Each structure stands twice: as structure tokens, then as C-alpha cells.
Amino acid sequence: MKEILNKIHSYIDEQDLFEDGDKVIAAVSGGPDSMALLHYLLHHAKKQINIEVAHVDHMLRGAGSEQDAIFVETYCRKQGVPYHHASLNVKKKMETDGIGIQEAARAVRYAYLKEIMVETRASKLVLGHHGDDQAETVLFRLVRGSTMKGRAGILAKRTFAGGFLVRPLLALTKEEIEQYCEHYHINYRQDPSNATDSYTRNRIRHHIIPLLKEENPSLNEQIKRYTEEVREDEDWLLQQAEDQLQKRIIEQNDQLIKIERKNWCKEAPPLQRRMIHLILSYLYAKVPTSLSSAHTASVRKLIEQKHPSGELHLPKGLLVQRSYSTVAFHFVQSAQALPYSFRLDQNEAIDLPVGGKVIAREGLVEDLDESIDFCWFDSTGVEWPLTVRTKKDGDRIHLKGLNGSKKIKKVFIDEKIPLDLRGQWPIVTDASGRVLWIPGLRTAQGVEKPADGNRAFTLIHYKDLLGGHSSC
């Protein structure tokens, strides 16, 4: 156990995580990681710190999550540690913002922890993430697509709520944390959702990381070295990008950044990518989670193309317009009024201008989250590529049980879709122009789950602006 304690001590010193006199809020869920963290802070921290605990009930597991809160509160009372608690409605957040369950849970949790930090005038928020979480995050972001900064993984220390968010256990493996709990006879709670393979992170945790550790038992050390080197490289490159971007901007305000193209194209691709990231961070009050490396690649392609003009729609109404020697990034006056049309081929994804995403994925994708619309179809029964677009005058869809077709305008009326949403609602057609699917509303006659799974495709609509409707 001395070796594990020394690893934590050394990591805290190396990352400069605590100072004498710090007032810290420990985020404690009741699981093994956070209970080990709290025990360490109470009994082994080398610095003189004042500890309070915050617990969040996400209201997702009924009596189970209530028992977690009671367990943590009871432990804190026995230890004489001030305890803060909140029950937060994650499902309501999902419905309001049109986001997935994990993103919603994270959003409400961090908002509450920020409030507690400010309320108690704490200098540090302490979280129990460990080395396996780091490996999981790096792999998850590599699979999903991320910037180089994102691929650097979880930070040991970052600014948060006027102070810092710190993670002292990143130097430990999950196994070492379990050893710590066993050695000190620390009781903890288990979240059943961690055992399911419904989420990508869980599948990485349960299947990919164990396999990689079989190949290299020192996986966590390799990931740690990788993240540190990537972060150092990224910091240096980002500074170079900031310096060069200032030389390329010819007009800038809160809603617009215009650059000159000629010298931009002379920069190395790593700097171009980072300059794009900087422009997006300047313009977005909060960068949408739907933005990915694919958007960066699309912007670079638009800037470098031979054709002198073109435009690209990014999430939340941000428009990139190329016109001869200049490229403008700006928000349109009314994103709702802009029509769009995107080509969608097999195993491709389209980000919609006002939020949401449509994917054509091979095979029968099942057990999707409630916040997602989907339909199955036989790939041989449509003409590729597909198109995802806004409605046009006269659009019709052939529906089961009808002799003939029905105007999409009438579908919107029957489904009581608000007027301000109809102009941006996605419609999926094949190359012949046949309407296949109106996500969340209607599927065309003949578009159904194929008997032959080898010919199957699944159309998936991750909702954002258009949340709250179930596919028919």
C-alpha cells in the first residue's frame, strides 16, 4: 500500500494540485473511486486542506440513487465532513436541450458543482478519475473524432469556477484503487449502469482496455506519457497558431471573422487546423459538442478548393463563406430561414445546420437511446446516394394504408409541428427524389426492416433542435 500512496503523493507534487490551506470540494458519488479519493484526502493528504463533500443524485435509478446519497451522507457525518447534496432532473435536461443521457448528466452535475464551489468559496474541486478513465477517454475521443487537444485526454488540473478542478488519482489504475479500498476496508456503492454495454465508453472499458492490457500491462503508463507529450506539443502549436491567425484576420467582431486566403494556404496543415479551432472558439459562446475533426477538414477543403466560391453550414447557424480571396465565418441573421441539402452516402454522417445529425449506418442498429430516431431499410431498394434536405413545395410521401401519397406539408400539420420548425425539419430522399423518411414523424411505404440482414441499413437521427418526437 505504501507504493500506491507514494504514487499519489508524487503525482500531486508533480502536478502541483494542492497547497496548504486549500478549501476543497470532493465530488463523491459513493463508488469505489470517489470513496478512495475521500479516504485519501481525509487520512493521507500531505497538505493541510479543508474538505467538504458534494454529492449529485441524477434521479435516474430511483431508490438506488437515493440510497447512494444516504450512504455518502452517513459516511460524511461519521467523519465530521460538511456535506452538500442535490437531486437533479437529468431527463428534463435531455428533453430541454435535445442531448443524450450522459451529456445531460455531466452538464447538470458540473453546473451544481460550480455553484457549490462559488457558494463555499472553495479553491479546488477534486474528482476521482483514475488512469483507466484516462485510457478510456483517449480511446473514446480517437474513435469519435476529436481535436488534438481533445486527444490529450483528461487534465490533471484546469481552471474551474474561479479556482481549479484537480484529479489526484490519475496516476493509479482501477485495480490499484480497488486494492486501496480493500486494504483500508472502505465500503462503497456500485452503479448498475456501469456494467451495461449500452454505452460506447462502457464497451471500451469492458472489452478494449482489458485486451490492450493483455498486450501491454503498462498501458496506463504509456497513455500517461502520450497525453503529457501531446499536451506539451499542443500548447506550443496553439501559441504558433494564435500568432499566425492575427496576421490573417482582416475583419473581426463578435459575430464575424474574415480572413485573407492566400497566405493562409501557405501555412502548414497543423497550424491551419488550430487556426480554425481558434476562430470557432472566438465566435461560439459555447462550442457545440457536435463539432468534430470532420468539420475542421470540411472548412480546410472549402478554403483550399479551386472553385473561387462556396459555403459550409456549421452547427448553431454558423456559416463559412468563401469568396475569391477571402473567407468569412459568421452567424446568419436567421438560421431558421436557410434551406439546406446534403448528400449522404453509405456509412456517412451529416451534421445539420441547426443541430442534430443524420447517419446512414450499415446493418441493423438496435437498442438506441430514446433521444434518437431511426428507421431500417433494404439497401437494394433505394437509389444511392441519399439526400438530407429541407422540404420543397409539393413534396409528397407515400404512406402505408394510403392510396397514393400525402403532402409533407399536411404531415407537419397533422403532427402539429410548429411553423418555425417546419422549414428546418430534415427530410431524407434517395437519388431518385423519393421521400424515404421524415425523422420522428413518418416512414415511407416499403421502407422497413429487411428480412436479409446482410442488405440492411439503419438511418439514425440524433436529435437536437427537433427533440421530443417519436419515430412512427
Annotated binding site for ATP: 29-34
Q: For strand 427-429 and strand 386-389, is the pairing parallel, antiparallel, or unpaired?
A: antiparallel
Q: For strand 83-87 and strand 50-57, is the pairing parallel, antiparallel, or unpaired?
A: parallel
Q: Which of 223, 208, 123, 130 is nearest to 169 (CA)?
A: 130
Q: Which of 146, 143, 152, 275 is nearest to 204 (CA)?
A: 143
The size of the chain, in residues, is 472
What angle, 0 to 180 degrees and rounded to 10, lies between the N-to-C axes of helices 174-183 and 2-15? 120
CA–CA dist 423, 124 (Å, integer): 47
CB 418 within 8 A of CB 348: no
CB 131 within 8 A of CB 217: no
3-state SS assignment for residue 358: strand
Give the residue carrying C-alpha cell 472499458: 205
3-state SS assignment for residue 145: coil
CA–CA dist 168, 33 (Å, integer): 11
The residues near 83 (Cβ < 8 Å, ≥ 6 apart) are 52, 53, 55, 72, 73, 76, 77
Q: Which of 345, 1, 4, 287 is nearest to 146 (CA)?
A: 287
> Three cell numbers at 181?
479500498
Specify binding-site residues: 29-34
Q: In 249-375, where does DSSP find H-type helix?
A: 261-264, 269-283, 293-304
CA–CA dist 464, 356 (Å, integer): 4
Q: For residue 168, is the peptide bond before it cis, meaning its omega torsion is within 30 degrees of 0?
A: no
